[in-house]
Every structure is written in structure tokens, then in C-alpha cells.
């Protein structure tokens, strides 16, 4: 990374480096300015992987400085890391995986994300060799020419001409930022936006996309406030954005809703579950019901057959699926050693039920069988949020602590924490509260964006599922099932939201789990 007196953007680029998932990294910072702020920041970080080199301000060209940085790099591969752009946590890991898997010597991204904060515009670029996205074997990298700008273009051309190169179409890995002080002027960016393959410039679409990006990138609260409220918006604190809780959807809006519930050994809860469904003031002719029962050892199958005729008479449509997955747990279901298998099965159950039950409905409401209480206008209030994915607050009692710990907001410094210590069987299982804030701490904040969702009660726009959004039954970014769904939605460009003051009740039926990934399997 080459920089000069741009501490603010350089610090942001360093934050992107600190969140990289690739394990064996160093960051070589070459600076020829006079401002000591960045050097002090790096000293304060105390991370031995970041090596800062100050050069005398002798007017070297950008190409010469890049060569200096490459010469000081100790690894067999080098990655260009511009000081004013943003990088997804999986950028290096993904590009290195492509190089190693295909026996290549270099990797470039075919498209990048373009962000112009001042004009509130986001886009996905056209396809080309994006020089700044280069990862290349050091011994195959040509020298940068002594140019003050455009120095990386001939280098990229030389790499493509002389090396085995893989091109990846993963624009979310690299965000090219126009901030007004770039090497190239604004007309350069305007040309890129003019030929972009996707663009988000309408206020609502831009804000939604930026919020989704902020779940993975160090985007400042002020940028988000600017996106949602316009240029005059004041900067917010680092706390989650507070928005007044939306009003319930009007009675005239009655889109078709599919309620989906997995069932296992549920005979004790099924009567109460059905009674609670009947208390909803949403019209039953607009509600379809899907139930999947499997692996039960009690009388759940028989009870379902008894209630099926009445359900079919009450609701628009009822789908009953039976499928065993062979999941029988010998010990407590919240133990860390069984979470991957347990939640993998639950993800498969949800995906199977979804594929069998979803027809023409506009919304899917996932609802656990052992949720014991919720307001009669639950559906209207969730719809009133006007978000594609939204959850209520699942608490152990009215006004009590959060039950579903799979819904959380990452704390401001979460990206600097050592998450790898809590990896077990490929999924994150941190202790309660490690880097995460739960909904019981966010009461009074109205509608808030969250980084993950639980499935005790979860509303999803059905078209998202139709477009490929599933519950991953395998580790997806070290997350699984509902948490994995939130990560996948984010990668599809959709943010997740929560209503901390809209409560559903799920009492503890077993001792409190020791870690956050312990939503009981119905």
C-alpha cells in the first residue's frame, strides 16, 4: 500500500486488511508524506504484520513508490492494496484460492463495485482487467514505470500477456471509491458509471445497497446517514442507526403469506401453536401453512393427522411433509460439538419444507412451534417494516432477555477481534456477547439493521427464496442455517432488519445455552 498524507482513507484500507480471512498476510505500507498520523496509528495497532516505511518526501512517482513497496514485500505473492478503496474480508482468500486451484500465476477481477459517495451512486462496473485488483506471483511481476498515474496499466498488460492469469467475476470483493482526491479526476469515474452493468442511484435502492455493504466493509455512519437522509444529514454515532418503528401495514394490504414450521417431538407445543395462529387478525384466506415433521419419537405424526382436516378448512392451503433425517442427539442440543450437524439438518429441513410448500405466496413467515405468544398484528407489523428480511424480537418473556441469539448486530470493533478462536467444526460458536449486540440492548431503537437473523420468527420476501436464497446446510463464511442465510442475503445485496420492540415469546424449556449458535431444533 502506497500512501501520502491520507490518514483517513489509509486507516480504512488498513481496517479492511485486518478483517481479511486469508491467514498468512503482511501489509507493507510505503509513505513519503510529512503527516505522522498514520505512522502513529500503525504503532498504536501493534500488529506485527503491518510494516510502515517512511521515505523522504523527494517527489518520487507513484510507480517508483510501488516498486519500493514490492521490493520490501517478503511473501511469494503480492497484492495491490490502494489506500483509498475498500476490500471485502474474503478478497485475498478468494483470489488466492483461484490462483492455487487453477495453477495460475496471477488473478484479476473482471468487474468491481463503484461507489461515488458525494453523488450517492453505486454501480457494478463493466468487464475489463481491473488493474488495482491484481494478485500476482512476485517473481512474475514487471516493474512499475516511473509514472505519476496510470502506472499500473502497463504492469497489468504485461502480466496478462506473459503469465497464466485467472479472471474472476466477483465485483463485491473490491469497491473502487470516488472521493474527490483520486489520482484520476471525476470525469474518469463518470465514464465508468456511464458503462456500468448495474447501477443504484435512486435514494431507496442506493441506501439499501449501502447498508448491505456496511455489514462487511468499514463504511462510516456518516456515509449511511448521508445515504438515507441526503447531504445535510448529521453524522451519527457508532451505534446502530435508530429509525422510528414503522406503522403496521394497512388492512387494505393483504399479500399472500406462507407460514412455515418444522416439527420434531412437538406434541406438547402443537395445540398451543395452532391456537396462537388462530389469534392472528390477518385473514386466513391469505395465509397458507406448511409443516414438516421428521424424526419424532412422540405422537406428533398422529396429532398432525388429527388436526389436518380442520387446518385445510381454515387456511388457504396446507402442505404437510414428512421426512426423517436421522437426527437423534445423545446429549444436550446446545453443546458445541454437535452444532454443525444439528444446524445442518435444521437447514435441510427448512430448505425441504420451502421447496415443497412455496407456490404463489409473496411472503414466507418462518415460525417455530414452541413460540408461545405474539401480538395479533404480528404479520401486519412485520410487513409494515417494508423490508425484504425482517425479524421481531424473540424474548424469553415480555420485556425479558433475548432468547434467539442468532439475531445480532456486530459491535463496532468486531472486525478487530480474534474470531478464529471460536471456530468449531468450521462454524463460529463464540460465547454470548463476544463482539455481538442482541435485541434486548436495542429496545427503543425502532427499526434496526442487523448482521444476522434467527429463525424463531422470520419474515422473508418469497422472491428472495425463488432467486436462490437458502439456509446453508454447510459453513458459509463460517456461518450456518439462519446465520448463513443472512450472510448469503448480504452477498445477494439484501440487508436484514429487526424490530426490537415487536416481541414474540419463547420461554426456556432447557437450561440456557452457553454460546450464541444454540437455537433449539423444533
pLDDT of residue 244: 56
Q: In angstroms, rounded to a whole number, what is the distance separating the alpha carbons of residues 430 and 508?
A: 20
Look at the block and give the residue holding cell 490518514.
7
Tens digit of pLDDT for each residue in 282-293?
999 999 999 999
What long-range pairs does 199-202 form, CB within 8 A, spacing at least 24?
199/121, 199/122, 199/123, 199/124, 200/121, 200/122, 200/123, 201/119, 201/120, 201/121, 201/122
Q: In angstroms, rounded to a whole number, what is the distance separating the alpha carbons of residues 347 and 470?
A: 8
pLDDT of residue 191: 86
Tens digit of pLDDT for each residue in 221-276?
667 666 655 433 333 334 444 445 677 777 667 899 999 999 999 999 999 999 99
Q: What predicted TM-score, i.e. pTM, was given to this entire model?
A: 0.57
Average pLDDT for 323-351: 79
Tens digit of pLDDT for each residue in 372-414?
999 999 999 999 999 999 999 999 999 999 999 999 999 888 8
Contact indicator for 504, 488 with CB cutoff of 8 Å? no
Q: What HEC string does 267-306 produce?
A: CCCHHHHHHHHHHCCCCHHHEEEEEEECCCCCCHHHHHHH
> DSSP assignment of 155-224, as one string?
HHHHHHHHS-EEEE--GGGEEEE--S-SSS-HHHHHHHHHT-SEEE-SHHHHHHHHHHHHTTS---HHHH
CA–CA distance from 279 to each of 275, 376, 387, 471 (Å)?
7, 6, 24, 29
> DSSP assignment of 473-491, as one string?
SS-BTTB-HHHHHHHHHHH
Amino acid at each position: 500500500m502506497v500512501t501520502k498524507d491520507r490518514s483517513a482513507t489509509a486507516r480504512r484500507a488498513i481496517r479492511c486488511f485486518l478483517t481479511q480471512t486469508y491467514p498468512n498476510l503482511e501489509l507493507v505500507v510505503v509513505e513519503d508524506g510529512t503527516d505522522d498520523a498514520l505512522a502513529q496509528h500503525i504503532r498504536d495497532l501493534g500488529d506485527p504484520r503491518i510494516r510502515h516505511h517512511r521515505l523522504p518526501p523527494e517527489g518520487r512517482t507513484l510507480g517508483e513508490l510501488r516498486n519500493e513497496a514490492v521490493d520490501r514485500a517478503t511473501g511469494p505473492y503480492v497484492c495491490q492494496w490502494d489506500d483509498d478503496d475498500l476490500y471485502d474480508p474474503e478478497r485475498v482468500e478468494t483470489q488466492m484460492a483461484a490462483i492455487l486451484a487453477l495453477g495460475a500465476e496471477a488473478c484479476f477481477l473482471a468487474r468491481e463495485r463503484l461507489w461515488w459517495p458525494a453523488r450517492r451512486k453505486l454501480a457494478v462496473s463493466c468487464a475489463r482487467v481491473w488493474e488495482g485488483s491484481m494478485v500476482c506471483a512476485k517473481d512474475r511481476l514487471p516493474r512499475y514505470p516511473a509514472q505519476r498515474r496510470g502506472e499500473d496499466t502497463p504492469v497489468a498488460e504485461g502480466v496478462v500477456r506473459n503469465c497464466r492469469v485467472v479472471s474472476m467475476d466477483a465485483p463485491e470483493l473490491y469497491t473502487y471509491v470516488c472521493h474527490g482526491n483520486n489520482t484520476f479526476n471525476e470525469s474518469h469515474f463518470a465514464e465508468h458509471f456511464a458503462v456500468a452493468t448495474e447501477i443504484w442511484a435512486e435514494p431507496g435502492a442506493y441506501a439499501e445497497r449501502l447498508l448491505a455493504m456496511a455489514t462487511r466493509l468499514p463504511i462510516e455512519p456518516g456515509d449511511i446517514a448521508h445515504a438515507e437522509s441526503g447531504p445535510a444529514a448529521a453524522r451519527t454515532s457508532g451505534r446502530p442507526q435508530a429509525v422510528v418503528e414503522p406503522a403496521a401495514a394497512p388492512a387494505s394490504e393483504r399479500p399472500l403469506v406462507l407460514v412455515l414450521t418444522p416439527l420434531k417431538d412437538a406434541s406438547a407445543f402443537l395445540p398451543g401453536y395452532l391456537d396462537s395462529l388462530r389469534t392472528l387478525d390477518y385473514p386466513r384466506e391469505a395465509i397458507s401453512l406448511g409443516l414438516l415433521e421428521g424424526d419424532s419419537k412422540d405422537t406428533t405424526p398422529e396429532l398432525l393427522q388429527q388436526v389436518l382436516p380442520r387446518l385445510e378448512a381454515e387456511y388457504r392451503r396446507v402442505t404437510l411433509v414428512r421426512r426423517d433425517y436421522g437426527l437423534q442427539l445423545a446429549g444436550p442440543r446446545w453443546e458445541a460439538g454437535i452444532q454443525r450437524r444439528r444446524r445442518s439438518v435444521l437447514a435441510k429441513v427448512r430448505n425441504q419444507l420451502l421447496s415443497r410448500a412455496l407456490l404463489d405466496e409473496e411472503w414466507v413467515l418462518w415460525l417455530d412451534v414452541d413460540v408461545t405468544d405474539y401480538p395479533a398484528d404480528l404479520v401486519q407489523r412485520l410487513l409494515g417494516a417494508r423490508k425484504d428480511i425482517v425479524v421481531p424480537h424473540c424474548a424469553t418473556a415480555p420485556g425479558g432477555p433475548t432468547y434467539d441469539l442468532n439475531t445480532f448486530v456486530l459491535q463496532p470493533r468486531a472486525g478487530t477481534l480474534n474470531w478464529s478462536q471460536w471456530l468449531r467444526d468450521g462454524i463460529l460458536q463464540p460465547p454470548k456477547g463476544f463482539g455481538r449486540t442482541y435485541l434486548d440492548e436495542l429496545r427503543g431503537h425502532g427499526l434496526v439493521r442487523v448482521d444476522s437473523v434467527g429463525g424463531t420468527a422470520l419474515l422473508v420476501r418469497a422472491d428472495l427464496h425463488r432467486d436462490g436464497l437458502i439456509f446453508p446446510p454447510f459453513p458459509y463464511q463460517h456461518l450456518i442455517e439462519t446465520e448463513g442465510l443472512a450472510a448469503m442475503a448480504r452477498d445477494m445485496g439484501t440487508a436484514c432488519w429487526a424490530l426490537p420492540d415487536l416481541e414474540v415469546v419463547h420461554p426456556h424449556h432447557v437450561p440456557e445455552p452457553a454460546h450464541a449458535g444454540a437455537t433449539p431444533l423444533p
